[in-house]
Amino acid sequence: MEDDAHDDQGIPRHLPAEAAGRRWLLKLVLVVAIAVFALSMAFVLVYGTSLPWLPALLISGALAAAQVYALRRTLFRGDGRT
């Protein structure tokens, strides 16, 4: 049996710059997803309950902010410095 049989050189490693770029891309995708979520919820509130646009946007914005908080804690663990 070879000495380096359990070496992990085959595992691809990301450089710190690549990891930061991927983290930035994930955050951008999160922002777009939350914006689409908030606008669709406001649309449903306006046409489903006859609320005016401003209260519907405020309600959906508050609910989207809560969603962002929950998703950030789930997807971006760590100290948050990056």
For the residues 60-79, what does the mean pLDDT come to?
80
pTM for the model: 0.59
Q: Is the pLDDT assigned to residue 4 strictly greater than 60?
A: no
pLDDT digits (tens, 9 = 90+) for 11-58: 566 556 666 677 788 888 878 888 898 999 999 999 999 899 999 999
In 3D space, the residue among 30, 13, 16, 38 whose CA is nearest the CA of residue 76 turns out to be 30
CA 13/CA 3 separation, integer angstroms: 22
For the residues 55-76, what does the mean pLDDT come to?
84
